[in-house]
Structure 1
Amino acid sequence: LDVINLDLRGGSGDYNTSNTFLHGPGGGGGGGVLWISQPTIPLSFNFDLNGGSNGVNINLGNNAAGATPGQAGLVHTAFTMPYTTIPADPNILDLDISTTALSCTAFDFKGAAVIKTAPITNWVWHWGDGNTSAGQNATHTYTATGDHTVKLVITDGTGCSDSTSAVVTPLALDFDFTYRQDICEPLTVQFSGTGAANNPYWNFGAGSTSSGQVNANHTFAATGDYPVRYSVSLNSACTDTLEKLIKIDIQQQDIILTKDTTICYGTVKQLRSAPLLGFCWFPTDYLDNPLSPSPVTSSPNDITYYLTAEINGANLIVNGDFSQGNTGFFSDYFSSVINTTEGQYHVGVNPRNWNGGMSDCTDHTSGTGNMMMVNGAPTADAIVWRQTVSVQPNTNYAFSTWIESLVTQNPAQLQFSINGKALGTPIAASAQSCNWNMFYTTWNSGSSTTAEIAIINKNTLLPGNDFALDDISFAEVFVKKDSVKITVEKPLVTANADTVICSGKPVQLVAAGAQDYTWMPNLAITDVSVSNPVASPVATTQYIVTGTTANGCVAKDTVLLNVFAKPVISLQADTAICKS
């Protein structure tokens, strides 16, 4: 036989190279064990069963610090291996798993085994997520999506075991919903589902539901908090439901800057409001433009206008007006002081200085400040601007920005996104350069405590696609209502009735219905600025009185004085006549 060399020595202990005993050297490992079937050790066997050497503290004089060498190994001769010549006769013939999805993430499992005689005494399920269960049948709900390998291990009465595996895939439906009060009818709410949209179902409470529509409207009976549930399904087993507590609130606040006022009949009045998002004027009668936050009324009668609007709270965005420069946000584009290619941006004042082919536009905030200038790249879904803020759960927020085109060709197509989910439809910059337009959308935070808000470029065309952003805002939004009463004054000034007088005879003129008066013409009249002057015309005269009320409203009346000349009486001269 060939010589057999066996190295069964124990391992050496580690050495300590530090200057302290905090980490001492290791002890040596013990030698191995050699089993030989012969009664004596064959001469052809060469083996080493010595224990390993211990380590020492090298920097402390090779001090062993208590570490010892390992013990020598052992040799056993005349070793025999027990065995049987009877062929194995398995008791477990087959094992199977059947699965049924109970929901998107929950499954029912049933184990089935075919045996001969010895019953199965133990069933253990390994769910593939670190958890286990016992029993022939079991259910399990997963907290993570993706493929999970489920293993069933069984043991029979003889101690024999068998196992089999199956793969299940828990699912998570990616969906959400937003809502917005109808500004003109604040108790009516517009609900919009996002993401997965199979078999949409809405439950507004109080027995009111809607099915088959991703977008739905519902009118609530009054203000208050209402739980609203939105469900979508992937199949008959996988249905997921999202519930939010909807707050229907209308706050009374001075959002109309114009105070209750009086106007003169036939004149107009401009109604001015505080900064607004969405808004609605009611009624719209006699308003020149009800879609303007500051329309002009020409009402001929007394009227009260009501304004309902979405009003922003405090802006949560840091450096939303870019006054602090290129800081506080992330972009997939690259910052460049001079624009040389697509996919670059710059925070500055003058687009033409950044790129000579762009228009000489100004910022939105002040006309002299910074804005974010962008040369869009033909890359789908590039993040132009992104920032993360903390939010309160179940709160409505408004996300808005001002956009202008820096060239007229191929205006930007942008998309709002929060926590990776698109909001609303893409928004387009104006086809006219240097024309600022505001876009906004609302979002309900649900259970979220943070919001990663982003503006994404959806335009993939190479020419144009150059734009600027400014005054980005993300703030809690409130629905508020105010009113203004317009009183229309219709002054009526009255004067004496027309009359006939003799030439030079004084007549008392009297006017009423105003505060101040002016009489015309200024002929044969004692005082043209009082309500009751005395007129003594020598010829027929029509006097016109103009009255002005305390509100500055003007009205007129007239009085005609028909003047007759004094009669001429002629008498013959004195004469003498005969009696009778």
Structure 2
Amino acid sequence: MQNFFICNGNGTTVMYPGFTSVFTAYAETVPCSTYHLKLAVCDASDQVLDSGVFLKAGSLSSNAISMTALSNLNNPQPYIVEGCTPGFIKIKRNSPTPFPYVFNYTVGGTATYPADYNVTTIPAGNPFGQVTIPAGDTVAYLVINPLQDGLVEGLEDLKIYQFAPCTNNIVDSAILYISDSIIINIITSDTTICSGESFQILVNGSDSLNYAWTPNININNPNIKEPTVNPVVNTDYVVCASIPNAVCPPTCDTLKVIMNTPPDVHISNDTIICKDMVIQFNPSISPQQTYTYNWSGTGAAFLNATNIPNPIGTFNAEGDYDLYLNVSPQAFGCDGGDTIHIKVLPNDIYLHNGDTAICQGGTVQINVTGDPLFTYNWTPPTYLNNPTIPSPISTPDTSITYIITATFPGCNPMIKSFNIDVQPNPIIDAGIDREVCDWDTLQLNPIVTPNTYPNYSYSWAPATGLTSSNTKNTVFNGHQNNTYTVYVTTPVGCMDSDQVTITVHPTEFADIQPTEKMICPLDSVQFTATGAESYHWSPGLYLNDSLINNPLSKPLTDIDYTVYSTSIYGCTDTDIVRMHIAPNAVLDAGDDIVLYPGEVGQLNATGNCSFFAWYPTAYLSDSHIKNPQTTPPATMQYFVTGATEEGCSIIDSIIVRISPESILDLPNAFSPGSGTSINDELKIIVRGMVTLDYFKVFNRWGEELFSTNDINRGWNGRYKGTPQPIGVYVYIIEAKTSTGKKIYKQGNITLIR
């Protein structure tokens, strides 16, 4: 042990890293048994406990075992072929030990033991279900020998399961596949190529196999897995794969290669068509092969299909278009093609002239837009400067309809038409100048030639004073002198005008005074009318003369007079004079009143009067209002004079008497709590000036319910806060007046609820 001692005597602290030796101990154990580990630590003679032993974490365990399937063939997992070379299951532990390790296994999967395979071991001598890793070694092998059974079984799997030492549970597995034959296939699909091209053939198979290709011409190497070929004719390439140094039969696969030639394509010559024309394309294509077709270019949108050799084109838009046909055989890069240019002309012309109207003697510039490749022809050619151009000039003398026809070879004729309405130049006569009384009307009827044209329109200017300003015949109902211009116009503007002057004599020339009068009954009014030659008053009722300018009227009721005044021009001015009979004045000064000591008298005159005057004015608050207050010291009579708004007046009077003594009284019933505020309390009624000694209320048993010496205070029907019942109660009042006179009153009152 001295060889493993490392002195740490010079250290000031215990430093284990760098001063530790590693020991490894092995012990053969029986799985699922319990063991105890004992360690003895010896220290030096200095009796200082400064030595240590450490156990590595996880070191008290057995070696981990792994399984791996091995074979020269992979797809992509390892597999073996019936009747051919064997495969292996490698059993490995991480590190060698002095003891052998017995590995227990079982088999499973779709492969059946021993019909599809048998098992041996390396090292040999192990029974089925076990293999032993020798002492001092790390690996052992299960040798799987596939058996040829002549059955088509597809790819079967053989599974090796490892048992746990204590529980016999499966803790690991490895899979080795068994195939009926060598697995190989050509990945590259049967293909077509263009002559002169080459390509690499892709193959799925293990790299450890031997490969042989036939035919072996035009191939870079016939003995490799994925050669490059460049055939010149259609060729079937066959590859066969075999296992080196094995007697089992090879497996073969075939690839078919078809050769294509670039096609020669011709669509047709460039062409010109009209819009909306339909074209069937029939290109010539050689040699005869299997092709795919693709039409492209600016004209492809007009084709019914772009993937057929002979599409139909419907060109519904004007312009210049290119079509390109790409013809592709099955081989990539072996395309051929051709291009055609198509010019699409419009399938219509545009006549910018709508139906046109002109005045007789005018000209019309016809304007047509169309393709310059078109041929044009106008019918009828009458009045045209050139009937074979798209935009001639017409000078028609009568109304006419023109038709233009545009043509192009292969296109439908394009036809347009329009009408020229030739309208007359009118002459109008408005008539002689006219006179009229204001408020009268005149019929204006101008004359137009030629009078056979039905589409004249008329306008009068100014429009003021006319019932209509846009008709031939109109009525003047204006009030001022005016000169009117009448215009006659055809729809296109052929026009004439004339004037007529109208003089208006006034009908507002008379002056009547007064025009409205209100009088009191039995009064009269003197009227005066000026400004006219003669007068007529209607009706003549209450007038002294109805045919003079200044009659006298004494009406008994309201009346309206109509006054007809006639001027030197025979015009009539009509006025209304209104007479109103005002109602008689009504006045009532009121009933005579009595005032007690300390009171103020309130006068109030009633009736229909608006103005008042009281006399005498002494002791009045205001002598010119309807309701003054008065405080006379002695009895006095007042007179009031009232006047209505119309000035009708009347007089009435009132006597104000003065009482030397005051009086008081009490109601004979009241209703407390009724909420009317009138009978809620029983209170003394006082006229004059009184001092209250007491006011008392008793019930029928003589119990005093209320008492006060405040004359303004009343009983609310309660006693000690409690409402008293309905019934009869007794009261006593004692007071004295301002002159010292005693007043004593006693009686009954009724409480009602």
TM-score by structure 2 length?
0.20
Higher relative contact order, structure no. (Cα contacts within 8 Å, ≥ 6 residues apart): 1
Larger Rg: 2
TM-score, normalised with respect to structure 1: 0.25
